[in-house]
Amino acid sequence: MADAGGDLELEGFRAEARAWLDANFPASLKGKGGQAAAALMDGPEPNGDLLAWKKAMGAKGWGAPTWPAEYGGGGLSPQQARVLAQEMGRAGAFNPMTAGMGITMIGPTILDYGTEAQKQTHIPPIVRGDVRWCVGYSEPNAGSDLASLQMKCEDNGDKWLINGSKTWTSGAQYSDWCGALVRTDPRAKKHEGISFMLVDMNQPGIETRPIKLIAGASPFCETFFTDATAPKAALLGKLNEGWTVGKRLLQHERASQTGAAMGGRQTPIEEIAKRYVEVDGEGRIVDPDLRTRITRHSMDARVHGLTLMRAMAEAKGASGATNSASILKNSATHVAQTRAELTLEIMGVQGLGWEGAAFDGEEIEAVRGWLFGKAMSIYGGSAEIQNNIISKRILGLPDTTQST
């Protein structure tokens, strides 16, 4: 039997959310979640309407809708958060806080493993968007084999002393803090002797060097630590047990890469197609092959979205890493890369623009998004790594990489 009281309460919240969005979301940003994500990830603090929207969401706590209100979060139930997402979609709005590592990765991990003092110190400014975080994982000789990391962290009395380097640290040049995996016991087995540190980036012992990408933007950096320091309270979780903390963060990362992060609605690809290719008298795309591939893509995107919703429902209350993130990571990559390829094909010569008056903003964004999207198969755990996880941990297939 339906809970009439609960339904009425949710409808009341829906009206509240709609009214707040109508009053606070700038009309100039409607449907521009993708562009906003690029601006927030690849540049310094935004300005104008984007800054105003970020501050409004931060003050409301709705950038982290289900986080505890005592730390500045929205304090919403999962049902209310779903309603909020629906209303944001209706308004063409997006969550500006998810374009970074604070809300999507570091914050949830601190909530999982942090002391009360760490939560009180770090979660409120993350929710407000007052600080930016990066993640120090990969190293020049520790990529997919992350447990081979060698960045040293030594006990130096009243503080930790950190030396080494990280690479592919997204947004490091703009970040205030870094959540880093470090080697605290060099004599231990490689998956042991690792700890997770919360490191202040604003110190002379840390240098960042941006890595230029083919898509034009440079969100990635090389980051060098030379006698950098962190207080003893910077240790997240237990000493030498950071691998567990690190895996949990990766779960949060992969969940954020499944297509739900920025929110807002993408223009349906069939609508884009009808602006560039021939349609018949009934408004259907004339080319049957293109029509079939667009339909297949739309079905894949819908299936991915439904699977994501199911995984989120199944993960409620789960405290350990789950395997669904690996499935969804590859699914999200397939959907996004297929859409990018189709979009460029549909745009024809207009899908080859890099700059200049001959191309509008959507066309230029399509080209750069297509190029940047190639990295989806690599970052956050390569497609091959995810397939190995799926085959061994989910399907139970034998590990044929080990010698007998």
* Annotated catalytic residue within 16, 222, 241, 253: 253
What is the distance between the alpha carbons of residues 135 and 198, in angstroms, rounded to a whole number?
Answer: 10
Q: How many CB atoms lie within 10 A of CB 357?
A: 6
- Per-residue pLDDT, 150: 95
Strands 177-183 and 133-136: parallel
What is the distance between the alpha carbons of residues 149 and 23, in angstroms, rounded to a whole number?
Answer: 48
Query: pTM of this prediction?
Result: 0.77
- Alpha helix stretches (DSSP H) within 1-47: 4-24, 33-42
What is the distance between the alpha carbons of residues 134 and 373, in angstroms, rounded to a whole number?
Answer: 20
Superfamily name with CATH number, domain 133-241: Butyryl-CoA Dehydrogenase, subunit A, domain 2 (2.40.110.10)
CA dihedral 172, 116, 322, 254 (to 10 degrees): -20
For the ranges 8-17, 63-72, 262-271, 338-347, which has the lowest average pLDDT?
A: 262-271
Does the pLDDT at position 306 exceed 90?
no
181-234 pLDDT tens trace: 999 999 999 899 999 999 999 999 999 999 887 766 677 899 999 999 999 999
Encoded amino acid at 375, one letter? A
For the ranges 5-9, 26-30, 98-102, 138-142, which has the lowest average pLDDT?
A: 5-9
- Per-residue pLDDT, 251: 79
Please report the sign of the dihedral spanned by the C-alpha atoms of residue 183, residue 188, residue 190, residue 192: negative
Mean pLDDT of the chain: 86
- Per-residue pLDDT, 35: 65
For the ranges 66-70, 164-168, 265-269, which has the lowest average pLDDT?
A: 265-269
Question: Domain 266-394, CATH 1.20.140.10 — does that match?
Answer: yes
What are the E-state strand segments in 335-402? none
What is the distance between the alpha carbons of residues 343 and 369, in angstroms, rounded to a whole number?
Answer: 10
Does the pLDDT at position 257 exceed 90?
no
The DSSP call for residue 316 is: T
- Per-residue pLDDT, 310: 75
Active-site residue, 253 included: yes
The ranges assigned to domains in the chain are 10-99, 133-241, 266-394
Does the pLDDT at position 260 exceed 50?
no
Judge contact between 66 and 78, C-beta under 8 A: yes
What Cα–Cα distance (Å) separates residue 1 from each residue in 10, 70, 71, 235, 313?
16, 34, 35, 49, 20
341-377 pLDDT tens trace: 999 999 999 988 888 888 888 888 888 888 878 878 8
261-302 pLDDT tens trace: 444 457 789 989 999 999 998 889 999 999 999 999 999 998
- Per-residue pLDDT, 68: 95
For residue 404, name the pLDDT band (cuts at 50, 70, 90): very low
For residue 31, name the pLDDT band (cuts at 50, 70, 90): confident
CA dihedral 212, 213, 219, 221 (to 10 degrees): -50
User: What average pLDDT does the segment 98-126 reach?
Assistant: 94
- Per-residue pLDDT, 102: 93
Does the pLDDT at position 308 exceed 70?
yes
- Per-residue pLDDT, 41: 64
For the ranges 6-20, 27-41, 56-70, which has the lowest average pLDDT?
A: 27-41
